[in-house]
Amino acid sequence: MVQITLTPEEAAALAIRGKQLGFSVSKYIRFLVAKEAHEVVSGQEVSVMSSDIEKITNEALQEWKAGKARKLTSLDDLDTP
């Protein structure tokens, strides 16, 4: 949850623009935040795994699916067979 304080002028401007789109002020602010977050996320670089790391990851996933791996709940689990 985030709480912000707006000046009366800011609130009025957001209300006008929100009303044009059929939004309340709160819904319009959520829309603006979602739009900005999408732009930030979509602009991120995507790293490609090397073929060696991809092979190791796929093998580990197959072991997990086959029940050959177990979930560790603490570092102490590394010492138990």
The predicted structure's pLDDT at residue 41: 84
Q: What is the pLDDT of residues 1-54, one digit of tens each?
A: 889 999 999 999 999 999 999 999 999 999 999 999 988 888 777 778 899 999
Residue 49: CB partners within 8 Å, gap ≥ 6?
A: 57
Please state whether the predicted TM-score (pTM) of the whole model is above 0.85.
Answer: no
Residue 66 and residue 55 in contact, taking contact as beta carbons nearer than 8 Å: no
* Cβ atoms 72, 81 nearer than 8 A: no
